[in-house]
Structures are given as structure tokens and as C-alpha cells.
Amino acid sequence: MKTLLILNDAPYGSERTYNGLRIAGTLSKQEGNEVRIFLIGDGASSAHRNQKVPQGFYNVEVMLGNVVRHGGEIGICGSCMDARGMTDSDIADGTHRSTLAELAEWTVWADKVLVF
């Protein structure tokens, strides 16, 4: 199954991004599943490199890395990056600056689209 997850919320503050990444991580580990994540709006901040969180707290950058290690793709809205002052050197390994055109392609590609 091909699943696209669109994450809109900031990485911390609510648990929506966290829960979206939990399901993405679980799906990416299952044989036969392909996972793509598109970070848009405040979700773009989820891909910021070198996140430091309190001990015992989840780390969204690590969770994104787990999806990438299992073959997942992660795109970040370029306009949203610009609005947040993020450059390509600011983003986590395995993620890439993306576009709404790529999001449209991924939407057509997907069997299921989950929005958080």
C-alpha cells in the first residue's frame, strides 16, 4: 500500500505531528508499504536539523529519520521553509525541499492520504 501523510502542525505543542509520525513509522516498517510524508505550514519546522529536546521527550527529527531508514520519502514545502527562514542546510538528513507540484504528484500516487 502507498500512503501519503500530510503534516500541518508544528513539531511540538500538540501531538498531531507526533501521532502522524508514529503511524508513518509503523507503516514504513511493514513489508509492502511505501510511505511519503509532506510537511506543510508549521509542519515544515519538523524537519529542522539538530533538534534538542528534554531527556525523555520525543524527538521529531529522529522519528523522521526512522521513516527515511525504512525507505520513506519526506518533502518539505519550499514556500513554508522560506516563511520560517529555513534553508536547505537547515533541514534534516533524508528530507528535501519540495513543491506543491510534487505534493500533487504524491497525492495521485497514493492509495491513501492521511492529513494531520
Q: Could you report the per-residue pLDDT of 76-86, keeping only the tens digit for each?
A: 999 999 999 99
Q: How far apart are CA 101 and CA 107, in angstroms?
A: 10
Q: Per residue in 15-38, pLDDT tens?
A: 999 999 999 999 999 999 999 999
Cα angle, residue 28 at apex, residues 22 and 32 outer, rounded to 5°: 145
The fold for domain 2-115 equals: Hypothetical Protein Ychn; Chain: A, (3.40.1260)
Percent of the chain past pLDDT 70, that is, above it, reads 100
Mean pLDDT of the residues in the chain? 97
Burial of 44 (0-12, 13-18, 19+ CB in 10 A): buried
Q: Where along the chain do its domains lie?
A: 2-115
Rg for the chain, CA atoms, rounded: 13
Compute φ and ψ for 34, nearest 5 degrees. -120, 135
Mean pLDDT on 4-8:
98
